[in-house]
């Protein structure tokens, strides 16, 4: 199939209405969307990405009212998070409405819901007229795409359309918080920090503090965010013997003659740039990427989470 490139939200939304799959920008990363109520369309997302069928999708809404189409109920804690952080880089996990096909949630009786704040995303979702399920628009296992060109690199001729927007503002995927139990549980770190969640619901805990019978966020067990190169997390004053075939990204100065280096002015800029940096390293055939560690506060916690996953991959 040919992949249509457009910056026109109505042209992109038309593909969704006809049962197609469309990549679109948000403030976190680019997503690959389909009509949540169209099982055949949702199946195309898993095919295009080569995504394991046991990894559930996040449903994206244009307005808070649309959540009622997806969730059986919204707990008081979920309401508090929605009021505080929607629209924005937060996904709340709620009990799934029976209208939502099981393929969208990988068989779970819960569903993740998010309302992006990036204007073009909101205009696109409004034009679609239905909630849109969307994982990140990369081939499974690769770094999430933060530009439309990165989507094209992974998914050209595998999807119907790419809605072309700006490079994404944040650069890391949304925070995911499970609101289906007595206390909210942070399942994935993102731009909304644990401290910010706790400022709204003080009881909120981290996933590692809970013992579940089965993994609550199945996606967390899959290989993630990995460039082909080996990722090494270093402290600011590390030493290497040879900069050849190596790259560096961090806040500090790159002390060695790396083949490729990115010195960021802030942790926010580092988070914003890291996935595209990984992709650029792969295009250059870099073998080792040294990533400077950062303090785990604010977006730094999400950044360190992604770096660790990349280093495992
Ligand atoms: O920022 C984002 O969240 C981006 C943009 C496109 O919105 N989307 C994204 O989707 O990162 P994806 O599929 O790459 O990651 C979704 C994560 C996975 O770790 C998945 O397991 C978890 O959210 N998730 C989705 N639905 C869930 C549910 N019902 N219960 C627990 N975890 C869920
Ligand atoms: Mg993903």
Q: Does 193 fall in a domain?
A: no
Q: Tell me whether residue 80 is in a domain.
A: no
| Residue at 296 is within a domain | yes
Same-domain check for residues 145 and 47: yes
How many Å separate Cα 310 from the centre of its chain?
14
Same domain, 44 and 159: yes
Is the CA virtual torsion 299, 302, 305, 311 positive or negative? Answer: negative
Residue for token digits 């080569």? 50
Residue 256's pLDDT is: 76
- 195 domain-assigned: no
Range of the domain at 246: 230-312
From the alpha carbon of 30, which atom of ligand 1 is closest? 6
Which residue lies with its CA nearest to atom 29 of ligand 1? Answer: 111
Indicate the SS3 state at residue 111. Answer: strand
Beta strands in 16-174 (DSSP E): 22-24, 31-35, 58-60, 90-95, 110-114, 132-133, 161-163
252 lies in some domain? yes
Distance, in Å, from the CA atom of 308 to the CA atom of 295, rounded to the nearest integer, reads 14
Nearest bound ligand to the CA of residue 176: 1
Among 127, 147, 169, identify where a domain stops: 169
Q: How far does residue 215's CA lie from ligand 1's centre (Å)?
A: 14
pLDDT at 210: 72
Q: Which one of the ligands is nearest to 154 CA?
A: 2
The minimum-distance atom of ligand 1 relative to the CA of 108 is 29
C-alpha 116 – ligand 1 centre gap (Å): 13
Q: Are residues 64 and 152 in the same domain?
A: yes
Number of domains observed in the structure of the chain: 2
The pick from 112, 145, 212 for probing ligand 1's pocket by mutation, whose C-beta has the most ligand atoms within 8 angstroms, reads 112
Cα 174 to ligand 1 centroid, rounded to whole Å: 8
Cβ(250) – ligand 1 distance below 6 Å: no
Residues 51 and 163 in one domain: yes
- Evaluate: CB of 134 within 6 angstroms of ligand 1: yes
**End residue of a domain, out of 169, 195, 219:** 169
Ligand 1 centroid distance, CA of 293 (Å): 25
Going from the Cα of 135 to the center of ligand 2, the distance in angstroms, rounded, reads: 5
- Contact 56 CB / ligand 1 (< 6 Å): yes
Token pair in block for residue 70: 């997806």
* 116 lies in the same domain as 240: no
* Per-residue tens of pLDDT for the chain, all 313 residues: 899 999 999 999 999 999 999 999 999 999 999 999 999 999 999 999 999 889 999 999 999 999 999 999 999 999 999 999 999 999 999 999 999 999 999 999 999 999 999 999 999 999 999 999 999 999 998 999 999 999 999 999 999 999 999 999 999 999 999 999 999 999 999 999 999 999 999 999 998 777 665 555 655 555 566 899 999 999 866 666 666 789 999 997 877 788 999 999 999 999 999 999 999 999 999 999 999 999 999 999 999 999 999 998 7
Task: Give me ligand 1 centre to Cα 189, in Å.
Answer: 11
CATH of the domain at 150: 3.90.870.10
């Amino acid at each position: 199939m040919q992949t249509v490139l457009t910056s026109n939200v109505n042209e992109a939304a038309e593909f969704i209405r006809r049962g197609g799959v469309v990549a679109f920008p948000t403030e976190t990363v680019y997503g690959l969307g389909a009509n949540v109520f169209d099982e055949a369309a949702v199946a195309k997302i898993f095919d295009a990405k080569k995504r394991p069928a046991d990894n559930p999708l996040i449903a994206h809404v244009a307005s808070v009212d649309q959540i009622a189409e997806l969730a059986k109920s919204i707990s008081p804690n979920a309401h508090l998070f929605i009021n505080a952080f929607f629209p924005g880089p937060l996904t709340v996990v709620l009990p799934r409405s029976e209208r939502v096909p099981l393929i969208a949630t990988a068989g779970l009786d819960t569903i993740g819901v998010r309302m992006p704040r990036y204007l073009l995303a909101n205009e696109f979702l409004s034009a679609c007229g239905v909630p849109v399920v969307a994982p990140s628009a990369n081939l499974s296992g690769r770094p999430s795409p933060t530009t439309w060109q990165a989507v094209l690199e992974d998914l050209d001729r595998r999807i119907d359309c790419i809605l072309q927007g700006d490079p994404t503002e944040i650069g890391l995927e949304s925070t995911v918080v499970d609101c289906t139990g007595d206390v909210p549980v942070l399942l994935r770190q993102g731009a909304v920090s644990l401290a910010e969640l706790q400022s709204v619901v003080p009881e909120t805990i981290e996933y590692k503090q809970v013992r579940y019978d089965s993994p609550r966020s199945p996606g967390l067990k899959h290989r993630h965010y990995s460039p082909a190169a080996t990722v090494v997390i270093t402290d600011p004053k590390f030493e290497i013997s040879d900069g050849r075939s190596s790259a560096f990204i961090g806040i500090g100065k790159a002390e060695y003659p790396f083949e490729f280096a990115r010195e960021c002015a802030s942790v926010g800029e580092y988070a914003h740039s890291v996935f595209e940096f990984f992709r650029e390293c792969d295009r250059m055939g870099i073998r080792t990427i040294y990533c400077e560690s950062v303090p785990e506060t604010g977006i730094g916690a999400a950044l360190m989470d992604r770096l660790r996953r990349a280093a495992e991959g």
